[in-house]
Amino acid sequence: MSARGQSFGLSATAKLALVQRLARRRDGQDAQSAADPRGFGSIQGLKDWGLVRDAMDALSIESPFFRTHQGRAGAHTQIGNRDLINFGSYDYLGLNGDPRLHQAAMQAMARYGISASASRLVSGERPVHGELEAKLAAHYGAGAALAFVSGHATNVTLIGHLMTPRDLILHDAAIHNSCVEGARLSGARRVPFAHNDLASAERELRANRRGAQRALILVEGHYSMDGDVPDLAGFARLARQYDAWLMVDEAHALGVVGEAGKGAFEAAGIAPGEVDIWMGTLSKTLCGCGGYIAARAELVDWLRHTAPGFVYSVGMPPPIAASAAAALDILHAEPWRVAKLQANARLFRDLCRARGFDTGPSAGLGIVPVVLGSSVRATRVSAALLERGVNALPILFPAVPEGAARLRFFLSAEHEEADLRTAVAALAEAADSVAPAELG
């Protein structure tokens, strides 16, 4: 039986033995929780996580997460004093080590300090905030932009603040967790549609739009799990047809999608104004931390004065704002970086496919998944790959469906062709070393 056909990559016998072992441990944990009523053992999520950890221990699987990098994690990195080819970082254009970003950050730090020290609404506003936002607004041809200290919080606070229980949120089934959490916070009716399926989106919108006061369509410009892109022109038409707002999460699209890396609107051949709300992060191509919104000036001004995740949060550190602005300038001035990134991603994807790996619908722009089947297999192949000098992290259930667990490779303009060929050869060896029979 193949690994995909087994439950979590385990044979029936191995699965039964594991279930019995975990049941005994769970009974012991329940008894311990009953004896300690002030503890946290009654939290179901904590119990579930405990079972996952116990299962990993029982299967002798080391966690692939929270490994310490001992320097800048670019196309190469150091983990455990070993030099590794790295596919675990968002540094798409190779700017994280660029001295121009460092210089911009140091100048801002020397003038304004490290922290804004307060909410921007009161006394945390610095000139670099406005400079970054003006450049982001210009990039999208928008009336204004607003920068937040967290990309995840940007979606949560925007969607949670914008929509109400009388409204409808229609979103791609693969939309990022931050959008889902924002939708839950809003209380709006949340309806997913099949991933990247415009026809499915229209069916759901037609069935649900009539009873809602307002509607918001949520898509990503470059999906982080599959590496594919939406039919943005089609979604823009759909939004106009059904009197809905269209919001695009550009976290993994800026600097990656489109000939010059301008994002999903460039790839789709539409004006950026066809999209009502652009959201993005500063932590990928722009090598900082935080998120942003670009939209009509009236919406941004309202958010600036009322959005809880902005008003009640400290302002973005000035060095981060300054370095992100410098990175955006370099993106515009050096399109060769985008061309190199995309060439690397296409080559890596095609080399993987030539070896028989399933890379899903990846467009070969910056993200290439290698679907391996079960969560156990993906974790073990990741570990075997690390032993061979390549760092690529597994994506496991429930982040993806069981049976679709994968390794996710983030490409960079810094990778050389030799890096890619070496990594794919190592991946083939690692996958062969973790035979389906071993999983039982």
CA 194, CA 32: separation in Å to the nearest integer? 43
Set 89, 178, 186, 224: catalytic member = 224
**Residue 47 among the catalytic residues:** no
DSSP letter (8 states) at residue 75 = S
The candidate with the shortest Cα–Cα distance to 88, out of 104, 75, 78, is 75
Set 139, 152, 176, 284: catalytic member = 284
**Residue 252 among the catalytic residues:** yes
CB 174 within 8 A of CB 331: no
CB 78 within 8 A of CB 89: no
Q: List the alpha helices (DSSP H) in 211-293.
A: 232-241, 264-268
CA 376, CA 386: separation in Å to the nearest integer? 16
Cis peptide before 398 (omega within 30 of 0): yes
CA 239, CA 232: separation in Å to the nearest integer? 10
The candidate with the shortest Cα–Cα distance to 292, out of 392, 159, 104, 155, is 155
Could you report how far apart the first and last alpha carbons of the chain are, in Å?
A: 11
CB 294 within 8 A of CB 134: no
Give kind and range of the element (H or E) at residue 297: helix 297-306
Taking the C-alpha atoms of 218, 219, 220 and 225 in order, what is their torsion angle to the nearest 10 degrees?
A: 110
**Residue 222 among the catalytic residues:** no
The candidate with the shortest Cα–Cα distance to 154, out of 165, 144, 146, is 146
The candidate with the shortest Cα–Cα distance to 43, out of 31, 30, 54, 52, is 30
CA 7, CA 29: separation in Å to the nearest integer? 25
Set 252, 262, 340, 415: catalytic member = 252
Amino acid at residue number 326 = A
What residues are annotated to the active site?
224, 252, 284
